[in-house]
Amino acid sequence: MKREITFKLNNEERKVEVDPGWTLLYVLREVLELMGTKEGCGYGECGACTVIIDGLSVNSCLYPILEAEGRAVTTIEGLRAASGELHPLQQAFVNEGAVQCGFCTAGMIMSAKALIDENEKPTEDDIKDNIAGNLCRCTGYVQIIDAIKTVAGGGRT
């Protein structure tokens, strides 16, 4: 049976009619047509589907949509400023060559954002620990870690 729920999506109240069996990822992509968030594995392994819910990074492919009710969800589409300017993390990924095919990028950036929102000056180990659940088949991770470092207090080391 379909149900109507309300949640905050990228700072905007959204009302959506959902089936209780849907995941948040399904609603984002197939109902709201926000294609920035990707589906890689569908089982919590790859992190391509990472979004931020109430400040915490979460795999949206395992997140029952009804749990989003009343919560604040941020996706990659929510990062760009109203002026159209890229978020510093997005710009850093571009500058550092941290985007190749781009499939992991949205999830990677959401994990990085959750980290630097919680800890302004993460160590390299903190960064690695927080993106350990985000697989990248292209870059070899070095550029990604560099990009996050340029934004996370202190710049390049």
Partner 1 sequence: MTRFEYHKPHTIKEAIGLMGSLENAKFIAGGTDVMVLIKRKKIAPAHLISLRNINDFSSIDIGDGLQIGGGVTHSDIVANEFIQKRYSALTDAAGKVGSRQIRNVATVSGNICNAAPSADTACPLLVLDADVKIAGPKGERQVPLDDFFLGANRVDLGPGEVVTGFHLPPFGLNTGSAYIKHTRRQAMDLPMVGIAVRVTIRIGGSEIGCKDAFCTIDSISNILRRLEDEELRCEDVRIAMGVVAPRPVRARKAEAALKGKVISEALFEEIAEIAASEAQPRDSIRGEAWYRREMVKVLTKRAILISVDRVLRPDDMILRGHDAASCPRVRG
Residue ranges in contact with partner 1 by CB under 8 A: 1, 19-23, 26, 42-45, 47, 50, 56-59, 62-64, 66-67, 69, 111, 114-115, 129-130, 132-134
> How far apart, in whole angstroms, are the C-alpha atoms of residue 157 and residue 153?
11
Is 40 near ligand FES (CB under 6 A)?
Answer: yes
Among 118, 124, 107, smallest CA distance to 45 is for: 107
User: Contacting ligand FES (CB under 6 A), which of 35, 86, 94, 101?
Assistant: 101
Could you say whether residue 137 binds ligand FES (CB under 6 A)?
A: yes
According to CB under 6 A, which residues from 106 to 135 bind ligand FES? none
Q: Does 44 bind ligand FAD (CB under 6 A)?
A: yes
| Contacting residues toward ligand FES, per CB under 6 A | 39-42, 44-49, 59, 61, 99-104, 136-139
